[in-house]
């Protein structure tokens, strides 16, 4: 089964990580990604650009309304993800718990639908 580990930061955590030594953070993430790869569970991973570079498409109007980021009153922002292939959500949670992240950051774990899910 595939699971997406969705990284979300509170504002303070994003600022703290921005001020952290970049090389140290890069090395820690590199070790984590290498462990996922060595275990054969990593399908993909990406970080995202700042919300200031994004837009929101709101479908509550016709035609949909496009607005620039950041996104108003959000308290947490989606900053990146890992896509892993493991046997259970418990195994996904175990891998998530190893991520080199600090206070104010959360990893939401969501199962990715497979082909069989789409046939229901």
pLDDT of residue 72: 58
Beta-sheet strand order (sheet of 2-10): 42-47, 76-85, 2-10, 105-111
pTM to 2 decimal places = 0.82
CATH for the stretch 2-115: 3.30.70.1060
pLDDT in tens, 50-88: 878 888 888 999 999 998 876 656 667 788 999 999 999
What residues are paired with 108 via a beta bridge?
6
pLDDT in tens, 11-60: 777 667 677 788 988 999 999 999 999 999 999 999 888 878 888 888 99
Residues 6+ positions from 18 with CB-CB distance below 8 Å: none
Mean pLDDT of 91-119: 91
d(CA 81, CA 86): 15
Residue 107 pLDDT more than 90?
A: yes
Residues 6+ positions from 90 with CB-CB distance below 8 Å: none
């Amino acid at each position: 089964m595939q699971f997406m580990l969705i990284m979300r930061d509170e504002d303070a955590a994003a600022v703290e990580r921005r001020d952290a030594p970049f090389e140290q953070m890069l090395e820690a993430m590199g070790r984590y990604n290498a462990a996922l790869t060595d275990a054969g569970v990593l399908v993909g991973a990406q970080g995202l650009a700042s919300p200031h570079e994004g837009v929101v498409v709101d479908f509550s109007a016709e035609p949909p309304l496009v607005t620039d980021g950041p996104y108003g009153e959000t308290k947490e922002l989606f900053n990146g993800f890992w896509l892993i292939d493991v046997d259970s959500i418990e195994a996904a949670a175990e891998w998530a718990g190893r991520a080199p992240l600090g206070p104010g950051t959360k990893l939401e774990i969501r199962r990715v639908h497979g082909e069989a899910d789409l046939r229901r």
